[in-house]
Amino acid sequence: MGLTGCQTAKNTTTATVDHVIDGDTVKVTIGNQTETIRLLLIDTPESVHPTKPVQPFGKEASNYLKEMLPNGTKIELEYDVNKRDKYDRLLAYIWLDGKMINEVLVEKGFARVAYIYKPNTKYEMRLKKVEETAKNKKIGIWSIPNYVTDRGFDSNAEAPSQKSDSSKCARPVIKGNITRGGEKIYHTPASPQYKVTKAEEMFCTEEDAVKAGFRKAG
């Protein structure tokens, strides 16, 4: 599939996805260099922060990005005016098959428009328009009242459906794992790989795991 999203845009480069770190950060290879890409103008809930717990829709945002950008995917990076942040990460809009991935994450309710620092504001109004639609539809992060704030996400806010789901069992024991290739697999305590499996999601029942798109470990 071709990279047609910004053929006429300036200040772009082609890269290969190494792996998705979380919902708004991707590790890529550009030539012989490995770079960390921070998606411009968006913010997704935390899923792998070293000092913060996993926030609602953090894993969903990360998993959705992994599905869109499997390892090895060829992408187009479009830079704004300033190319790097204070952590030396590259700042970019990611394009794939005519779609801006930053915009798709906002559209699906996985990201808010944030970290707007001049002069990197090329698509600010475009993203804000999409955000307003997602907000009105109350999808994703917007489905939880008072969850999205000007400073980030309030983990104390919780949707009623999430509260009832958590009461299904006191200790979910089924481990959901996503491979580097993006395959979703779940392990029960009887699985030979259960102890060494890193759980990215936990489920109360196998039925819950299947509904979430996971298959049983073979």
Query: Known catalytic residues?
Result: 38, 46, 89
Name which of 196, 197, 214 is nearest 205 in CA terms. Answer: 214
User: What gap in Å lies between CA 31 and CA 8, rounded to an integer?
Assistant: 21
User: What gap in Å lies between CA 150 and CA 85, rounded to an integer?
Assistant: 20
φ/ψ bin of 11: left (φ > 0), alpha (ψ from -120 to 50), beta (otherwise): left
Measure Cα distances from 157 to 42, 56, 71, 165 in Å. Answer: 20, 9, 33, 15
User: What gap in Å lies between CA 92 and CA 27, rounded to an integer?
Assistant: 12
| β-pair partners for 168 | none
